[in-house]
Structure 1
Amino acid sequence: LFLGDIVNFGPDPKRCLDWVRTNATAAVRGNHDHGVAFGGELGVNPGLLAEYRVMRDFTQNVLPAADRGWLGNLPLSQDVELDGARFHLVHAMPSDPLARRLALVSARQEDLEAEVAQLSPRPDVLMVGHTHLPGMRKVGDTIIVNPGSLGQPRNGIPDATYAVWRDGDLQIHHLHYDHDTTQRKLMMLPIDPDVVDRLQEILETGSA
């Protein structure tokens, strides 16, 4: 299950897109996918706006029109049933699928309750992304989980994070990996060196 932002801050957008298209059971559109498909700056972190613009333009130039169209056709939300459990997938939040920034680690309970209340029937698991901050909260019988990010962590730990559902149990896992290959590829891109430096720093520190 993929929660959006396949492309835009990495050097291999085509490979990432092809992998998700081939392997994901379900995927929803993230704001970066939306920006590459349609333009604009919806839901972009203001502190990364310059990097976003440079990488959006690069990604639009290297992806074929058919791939940009595929990104634009991804649903904003999707319901999936697995092993008898109901999952609702959305990139940001049900009230604003592409832009609402609500970090589970600090969100007010009433704000989370309002988001879950928009869904009928209520899912067993509401899966969100967008903030790149892993976390898990409970609202009634619904678990809200943000698995974090595979390639753009924001929690100060430069690891890939993902969630695993097994036998009714949901856990977030960390995976440490060598960033050198990605950093070398970033250096080879025909883009502003300052943008390369910033993206490399995010990989090194796990924060922006």
Structure 2
Amino acid sequence: MEIGVVSDLHSNMVALDAVLRDLETENIENILCAGDLVGYYPFPNETVSRVRDLNALCVLGNHDFALVTETPRDFNRLAKRALDWNRRNLSEENLVYLEELPETRRLTLDGLDIFLAHGSPARPINEYIWEEDIDEHFLDVFFESPPDVVILGHTHRPYVKVVGDTLCMNPGSVGQPRDGDPRASFGVIDTESLEAEIRRVEYEIDWVAEETEEYLPRRLAERLYEGR
């Protein structure tokens, strides 16, 4: 079985559609989402509704949490303006969906023990875990019994790393990549071989940029072209 892994969608439905089309070409139906469905871009309802329709297994991200509670003061000006706009425009049904998302999930899928969070296992909402943080010490600190797979998001930078018998992945960001590559980033895990890869797909950035500039700060549109 192959599993699609996405994170940091950030209300960029156009990018999400491109990712899903790629997954559909290989009949990949099982999708895990490491949070941040909303924020930054102008398609919150379309994005959340699509994830719900997919029956994707998701966890709560920091932007999701901020939307259903109150935007933190430490959010930068652009992030706050976008999130406040997302909040005003999100349907009640989609708001309830975000409110009910768990902070972490530990599940069994095709025989694999999988841990899923947005930030870190200890601070799943907002702690950054970078590729260089992933080592045997990381697993020992956070897990009494390390899972087969650890999936994290939040950094918007993709990686795949194997530590001992554990596969660790950050799929990068669908909606706002920050590794210098503007293409939507996501991951695929093969449950039989326990191998994973990061994939990139192009999407219609111009369309998202135009819609963003109509409702939100222009700088958010410009970042899409820069991949940061």
TM-score normalised by the chain length of structure 1: 0.87
Structure 1 position 79, deviation (Å): 1.6
Whether the 8 Å contact between 2:176 and 2:227 is mirrored in structure 1 is: yes
Against the structure 1 CA distance between its residues 153 and 116, is the aligned structure 2 distance closer, same or farther, given a 3 Å change threshold?
A: farther
How far 1:8 moved relative to its partner? Answer: 0.9
1:77 deviation in Å?
0.5
Matched, 1:153 2:184: no
Which residue of structure 2 aligns with residue 41 of structure 1? 72
Tell me how far 1:108 sits from its aligned partner: 6.2
Structure-1 residue corresponding to 2:196: 170
Give 1:58 deviation, angstroms: 0.4
Q: Aligned-pair distance for 1:96?
A: 0.6
Partner of 1:8: 39
Contact 2:38–2:44 (8 Å) recurs in 1: yes
Q: CA deviation at 1:22?
A: 1.2
Q: Secondary structure at the match of 1:56?
A: helix
Question: What CA distance in whole angstroms lies between the structure 1 residues aligned with 2:127 and 2:49?
Answer: 27
Contact 1:95/1:115 (<8 A) preserved: no
Asked if structure 1 preserves the Cα contact closer than 8 Å seen for 2:139 and 2:146, the reply is: no
3-state secondary structure, aligned to 2:97: helix
Per-residue deviation, 1:23: 0.6
More contact order relative to length (CA 8 Å, sep ≥ 6): 2
Deviations 1:38-64 (A, max 9, x none): 1132885xxxx1011101110111112
Counterpart of 1:88 in structure 2: which amino acid? F
**2:87 aligned counterpart, secondary structure:** helix
Q: Identity over the aligned pairs, expressed in percent? A: 30
Aligned-pair CA distance for 1:165: 1.3
Q: Is the 8 A contact 1:91 1:130 kept in 2?
A: yes
2:163 corresponds, among 116, 126, 139, to: 139
In structure 2, the partner of 1:206 is: 227
Which secondary structure state, in structure 2, belongs to the residue aligned with residue 151 of structure 1?
A: coil
Give the drift of 1:120.
Answer: 4.3
Say how many residue pairs are matched.
195
Structure 2 residues not aligned, in runs of 5+: 1-31
Query: Taking structure 1 as reference, are residues 139 and 42 closer, same or farther at Cα in structure 2, changes over 3 Å only?
Result: farther
Q: Distance in 2 between matches of 1:108 and 1:58?
A: 35
- The 1:2–1:116 alpha-carbon spacing in structure 2 relative to 1, beyond 3 Å, is farther
Partner deviation per Cα, 1:153-176 (whole Å, 9 max, x = no partner):
000000111111123221111112
Q: Spell out, residue by residue over 1:114-173, the C-alpha distance to the aligned partner (whole angstroms, 9 max, x if none).
A: 355423432111000000000122222111100001111000000111111123221111
- Give the Cα separation in 2 of the matches to 1:42 and 1:124: 37
| TM-score (normalizing by structure 2) | 0.79
Does the CA contact (< 8 Å) of 2:119 and 2:153 recur in 1?
yes
Deviation string 1:176-199 (CA, Å, 9 cap, x unpaired) is 22201111111221x4xxx2x211
1:21 corresponds to which of 44, 52, 68: 52
* Contact 2:210–2:221, Cα closer than 8 Å, also in 1: no
Mapped partners of 1:185, 1:151: distance in 2: 14
